[in-house]
């Protein structure tokens, strides 16, 4: 059987993340320095000292999570960690960490990319215009059917997280209408998320265009491990494919359920979740309980 490396997305951040590994390993400190240089922000200070409200801002959370994931990976690699992945994947922002793990770009370039991605996403839709809602206990097919009935504005599925959890994204009025319909249809929980924009929806197209222009200026190399993408559930290696995938991912749903099932199809039986928290472990368990997920974040868990 085979191993995959998977990387978390936004929402996995917390104050103090990465501190133990930063203090314990010079390799981790080197990654923080490289990422800080690329993103033009002190990421150690952001992770260890910034209040939660500052860390959760999209343009801060993205480079912070990316950096912690890359620091853990660098420590694993330098320690001679014997498991070699047959595929890498990530949830939304995590796809950029996965690409960096596959040596598509440097930590420095990756940190710049995700910092700018966060800025572009924040700027795309004015605060208060759009949002996101998690829906628990209805099938994705039923949710899609209900969203087609919404008349109050634009709304779409943003994340297929697990068979039981789907996230929708759109304009506030449309979200409110959809939430009411979903409750009436028997959803167990309908929870508005604490995010400032309608991520992974067509409303993010302006952010995607800016990201595309930035990526034209950056060198991407061929991936040394196949990257399984969110937008199409396809294995990518070529730089042009990966850039196009990153562009479309900004306004396309994250197909995490299909990604996990695809990895299992490939013979993967163990997934190493590299980065803060263990959000992906929970999602994978709800998708297929036969898959083993090992969260790798702190020194005591590394060896």
Sheet strands side by side (includes 155-162)? 155-162, 165-171, 130-136, 189-192
**Positions marked catalytic:** 92, 200
User: In the CATH hierarchy, which fold is given to the domain comprising 2-124+202-302?
Assistant: Malonyl-Coenzyme A Acyl Carrier Protein; domain 2 (3.40.366)
Q: Where are the domains of the chain?
A: 2-124+202-302, 130-192
Report pLDDT for 194. 80
Identical fold for domains 2-124+202-302 and 130-192, yes or no, is no
Confidence of residue 39 (pLDDT cuts 50, 70, 90): very high
State residue 299's pLDDT score: 58
* pLDDT above 80 for 303: no
Greater confidence, 254 or 80?
254
Q: Would you say 100 and 112 are in contact if contact means Cβ atoms under 8 Å apart?
A: no
Q: Which residues on neighbouring strands pair with residue 189, listed in sequence order? A: 136
Q: Is domain 130-192 in CATH 3.30.2020.30, yes or no?
A: no
Considering the chain, what percentage of its residues have pLDDT values greater than 70?
98
Kindly report, residue by residue over 176-210, the tens digit of the pLDDT.
999 999 999 999 999 999 887 899 999 999 999 99
Query: What is the DSSP track for the chain?
Result: -EEEEEE--TT---TTTTHHHHHH-HHHHHHHHHHHHHHTS-HHHHHHTS-HHHHTSHHHHHHHHHHHHHHHHHHHHHTT-----SEEEESTTHHHHHHHHTTSS-HHHHHHHHHHHHHHHHHHS-TTTEEEEEEESS-HHHHHHHHTT--SS-EEEEEEEETTEEEEEEEHHHHHHHHHHHHHTT-SEEEE-S-SS-TTSGGGHHHHHHHHHHHHTS--PPPSSPEEPTTT--EE-SHHHHHHHHHHHTTS-B-HHHHHHHHHHTTEEEEEEESSS-HHHHHHHHH-TTSEEEEE-SHHHH-
Q: What's the confidence (pLDDT) of residue 149?
A: 98
Span 135-173, pLDDT tens digits: 999 999 999 999 999 999 999 999 999 999 999 999 999
pLDDT tens, residue by residue, 64-110: 999 999 999 999 999 888 899 999 999 999 999 999 999 999 999 99
Count of other CB atoms within 10 angstroms of residue 79 = 12
- How many CB atoms sit inside 10 A of residue 300's CB? 8
pLDDT exceeding 90 applies to what percent of the chain?
93
Give the residue from 142, 137, 215, 130 showing the smallest Cα distance to 173: 130
Q: pLDDT band at residue 300, thresholds of 50, 70 and 90?
A: low
Per-residue pLDDT, averaged over 206-235, amounts to 98
Give the pLDDT score at 301: 52
Rounded Cα–Cα distance for residues 187 and 86 (Å): 37
Cα separation, 144 vs 157, in Å, equals 7
């Amino acid at each position: 059987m085979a191993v995959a490396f998977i990387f978390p997305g936004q929402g996995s951040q917390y104050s103090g993340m990465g501190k133990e590994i930063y203090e314990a390993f010079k390799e981790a400190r080197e990654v923080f320095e490289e990422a800080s240089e690329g993103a033009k922000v002190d990421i150690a200070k952001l992770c260890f000292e910034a209040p939660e409200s500052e860390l959760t801002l999209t343009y801060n959370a993205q480079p912070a999570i990316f950096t912690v994931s890359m620091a853990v990976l660098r420590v694993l690699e330098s320690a001679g960690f014997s498991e070699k992945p047959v595929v890498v994947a990530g949830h939304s922002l995590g796809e950029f960490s996965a690409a960096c793990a596959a040596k598509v770009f440097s930590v420095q370039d990756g940190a710049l990319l995700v910092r700018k991605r966060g800025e572009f996403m924040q700027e795309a839709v004015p605060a208060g215009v759009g949002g996101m809602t998690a829906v628990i206990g209805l099938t994705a097919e039923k949710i899609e059917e209900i969203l087609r009935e919404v008349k109050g504005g634009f709304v779409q599925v943003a994340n297929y997280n697990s068979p039981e959890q789907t996230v929708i994204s759109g304009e506030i009025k449309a979200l409110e209408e959809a939430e009411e319909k979903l409750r009436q249809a028997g959803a167990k929980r309908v929870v508005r998320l604490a995010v400032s924009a309608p991520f992974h929806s067509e409303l993010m197209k302006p952010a995607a265009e800016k990201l595309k222009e930035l990526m034209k200026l950056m060198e991407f190399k061929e991936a040394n491990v196949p990257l399984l993408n969110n937008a199409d559930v396809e294995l990518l290696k070529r730089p042009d494919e990966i850039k196009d995938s990153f562009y479309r991912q900004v306004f396309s749903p994250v197909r995490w359920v299909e990604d996990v099932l695809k990895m299992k199809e490939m013979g993967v039986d163990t997934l190493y979740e590299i980065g803060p928290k263990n959000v992906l472990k929970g999602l994978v368990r709800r998708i297929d309980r036969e898959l083993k997920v090992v969260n790798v974040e702190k020194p005591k868990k590394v060896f």
